[in-house]
Structure 1
Amino acid sequence: MPTDFEGIFAKIADTMKRRDYDALEQLFTDDYVEEYPQSGEVVHGARNARAIRENYPGGGVTEQAVEAATTRIGATDARWVRPPAFTLIHAEGTGNIGTATFRNRYPDGSIWWIINLVEMRGDRIARATMFFAPVFQAPEWRKPYVEPRKAAGGA
């Protein structure tokens, strides 16, 4: 049976929004390894991965920690919604290797994209490499060559 990457990443998003760290920890193998190439850090073990999320300064990524601002994420100007603080945008994979794109709004209101590359062992995540990038204003010089993104999750 193929790995249900969308289901696994949806569980991650759900446990993060609910701050259910017991359920989150169960998604990782005991010898789980998480790498952050941008900062040069490596996390060893499901318990440490949990502790990082549980002890995040500012209270983590819950709806209650975010100001009640609205953000347009729909395809038309008529669709204004307040997205969840931690949203799965896309997930896919083959065999035991998968990728996911998340959109996260931190307690300070900043919006970041998170790219997660994972290796599964059975139905649990054994290894992850995570990249974080803030939303930023596109430079003027590119305007002649691009069009605004119409999909979910822009600035």
Structure 2
Amino acid sequence: MQAHDIRTALDRHWAASAAGDLVAEHEIYHDDAVCEYPQSGEIIRGRHNLQALRGHHPGKPAGFAVRRIVGEGQLWVTEYAIAYQGNMAHTVSIMEFKDGKVAHETQYFADPFAAPAWRSQWVERPA
């Protein structure tokens, strides 16, 4: 699978995720895909289980924004933010492709934090 094809599949995946389209969102995964959440220690085995888990989420995300997608070969990384229960979670998804579908994904979730005043002279703040 060419980089252009993977990027197109990723764009469709993230658009479907943002729209809440569970069927289209999970078309990118192999049937036996594995998804890991290292911060909670959870491993989800199989596309069906991943789709069911996301479909039964009690507090569905209220917003979703992809910051950037980078990758080469079979390894692709997406940085995005999810509005969830009044907070913004900054997220990184690392996807490993095999035969044109995601075989393994690892997702990291980070809560925002206040920037300390001591470093203000060296940093920029987005508008």
TM, length-normalised to structure 2: 0.88
**Structure 1 portions without partners, runs of 5+:** 67-84, 151-155
* Alignment-derived partner of residue 34 in structure 1: 35
Residues 1:93 and 2:75 are matched in the alignment: no
Contact 1:101–1:113 at 8 Å: present in 2 too?
A: yes
CA-to-aligned-CA distance 1:6-53 (integer Å, 9 cap, x gap): 423322221122221111221100110011111111110001111121
**Structure 2 portions without partners, runs of 5+:** none
Contact 2:14–2:25 at 8 Å: present in 1 too?
A: no
Over the residues paired in the alignment, what is the CA RMSD in angstroms?
Answer: 1.6
* Alignment-derived partner of residue 82 in structure 1: none
Q: Report runs of 4+ in structure 1 exceeding 4 Å deviation.
A: none
Identify which of 95, 100, 124 aligns with 1:147: 124
Please state which structure has a larger fraction of its residues in strand.
Answer: 2
Cα separation, partners in 2 of 1:9 and 1:137, compared to 1, 3 Å = farther
Q: Which has the higher contact order (CA 8 A, sep 6+)?
A: 1
1:146 Cα deviation (Å)?
1.6
SS of equivalent to 1:115: strand
Residues 1:133 and 2:114 are matched in the alignment: no
SS of equivalent to 1:16: helix
Contact 1:34–1:42 at 8 Å: present in 2 too?
A: yes
Q: Which amino acid aligns with 2:99?
A: G
TM, length-normalised to structure 1: 0.74
